[in-house]
Amino acid sequence: MSIILITGAATGIGRVTAERLAADGHTVYASMRDLDGRNREHAEEARAHARREHVELRVVELDVTSQDSADAAVATVLREAGQLDVVVHNAGHLYVGYVEAFTAEDIAHLLDVNALGVQRVNRAALPHMRERRSGTLLYIGSTIIVSTPPFLGPYVASKAAFDALAVVT
């Protein structure tokens, strides 16, 4: 079975993926930011799920907007599990509205979370994977860049950057 790190696993696709992979026998590190604050309840729910279902679902602090946080999360996985086999890039953020309503800082934040966050986690994880000559990166993308709905311009731009990183990594 694999050792898997999932970014953005507090809720939604990340949470469901973490629970499913753990149920299938993998050791899953469900990462989320701010474990003592906004995601405290989500972290407790994930830990309770692991106890109740007798699965290897572990919670690790990871804020993809911080290289130090990405480095620390990967170091925790390596210290506890001895290796990292799979990284699932799932963390993401969404803004909705007229494109002219967004400041450059708003768009920079979306790019920071949705694209640069991938690079930070890859910088932390890939040296270990390359040394082992084994590892998988999975990118949870979106079809939104193919058929763009209204009011999502900055989000679409950030997901296009995300997709480009997936192609070149």
**Model confidence over 101-123: pLDDT tens digits?**
999 999 999 999 999 999 999 99
> Per-residue b/e over 144-166, b at no fewer than 16 CB within 10 Å?
ebeeeeeebbbbbbbbbbbbebe
12-28 mean pLDDT: 98
> Per-residue b/e over 59-78, b at no fewer than 16 CB within 10 Å?
bbbbbbebbebbbbbbebbe
pLDDT band at 26 (very low <50, low <70, confident <90, very high): very high
What pLDDT digit, counting tens, does each position of 141-158 carry? 887 777 778 898 889 889
The predicted pLDDT at position 90 comes to 96
C-alpha torsion 88→140→18→31, nearest 10: 60
Q: Measured on CA atoms in the order 17, 80, 85, 115, is the torsion positive or negative?
A: positive
Provide the residue ranges of all domains of the chain, joining segments of one domain with +.
3-168
124-147 mean pLDDT: 92
Whole-prediction pTM: 0.94
The predicted pLDDT at position 147 comes to 77
The predicted pLDDT at position 148 comes to 78
Q: Catalytic site residue 95? A: no
CA-to-CA distance for 7 and 103, rounded, in angstroms?
A: 26
Strand order in the sheet with 3-6: 57-61, 27-32, 3-6, 86-89, 136-139
Q: Is the pLDDT of residue 30 over 80?
A: yes
What pLDDT digit, counting tens, does each position of 45-99 carry? 999 999 999 999 999 999 999 999 999 999 999 999 999 999 999 999 888 999 8
Fold of domain 3-168:
Rossmann fold (3.40.50)
120-147 mean pLDDT: 93
Q: Is the pLDDT of residue 5 over 90?
A: yes
Q: Which amino acid is at 98?
A: Y
DSSP annotation string for 74-137? HHHHHHHHS---EEEE-------S-GGGS-HHHHHHHHIIIIIHHHHHHHHHHHHHHHHT--EE
CA-to-CA distance for 98 and 105, rounded, in angstroms?
A: 15
CA-to-CA distance for 38 and 76, rounded, in angstroms?
A: 21
